[in-house]
Structure 1
């Protein structure tokens, strides 16, 4: 080991570096253990979120038109005693709909 103290990564703030420099070896080991566990936890969350996003893309319905977002859901509207399927999604503050087809009894 070198007699010189290690050089902190440039990504650490001065406040964090100063706090670490003032810490005892025991506290530094605790911080290192916690930081490693926290990093693994966050990487796992990121991976799960990415997998969920990929699953959502893979689950895109075959009959979903190109101009309808993947997150659109199917809703049923009743008009004059007739029922129709509509794609429905949110764009900002507005709810958008696009006609899909009549509700058939075999569905």
Structure 2
């Protein structure tokens, strides 16, 4: 690992770079975790927006629980270095999730 500080992306605003440079390692870990979750959320929102624009309704998957709507999608969440599948769907202004199964690393 280099002893030189990393070069920030040119697309980041100076205010964010300055704030990150003044942040403790523990807080940077929290920022990284939050940023990854936020990316996943925004990508999911974009996918949900695209799927809402598509015409036609897909058939209900066989493994979809009764209390999960047909519009639900599967996402992967990492918790304590373990990966799990979750059903996720929009319910008004909220995103709901329900556990599905662990991710099989052999897939």
Equivalenced residues, count: 57
Corresponding residue number in structure 1 for 2:41: 41
Q: Which has the higher helix share?
A: 1
Structure 2 portions without partners, runs of 5+: 58-107
Please report how far the alpha carbon of residue 54 of structure 1 lies from its aligned counterpart in structure 2 after TM superposition: 1.4
> What TM-score do the two structures reach when normalised by structure 1?
0.51
Alpha-carbon displacement from aligned partner over 1:37-63 (angstroms, at most 9, x marks no partner): 0110010010010011112xx58xxxx
Let me know the Cα RMSD of the aligned residues. Answer: 1.2
Structure 1 portions without partners, runs of 5+: 60-107
Please report how far the alpha carbon of residue 19 of structure 1 lies from its aligned counterpart in structure 2 after TM superposition: 0.1
Corresponding residue number in structure 2 for 1:72: none
Give the ranges of 4+ consecutive aligned residues of structure 1 lying more than 4 Å apart after TM superposition: none
> What TM-score do the two structures reach when normalised by structure 2?
0.51
Q: Which has the larger radius of gyration?
A: 1
**Mapped partners of 2:11, 2:29: distance in 1:** 20
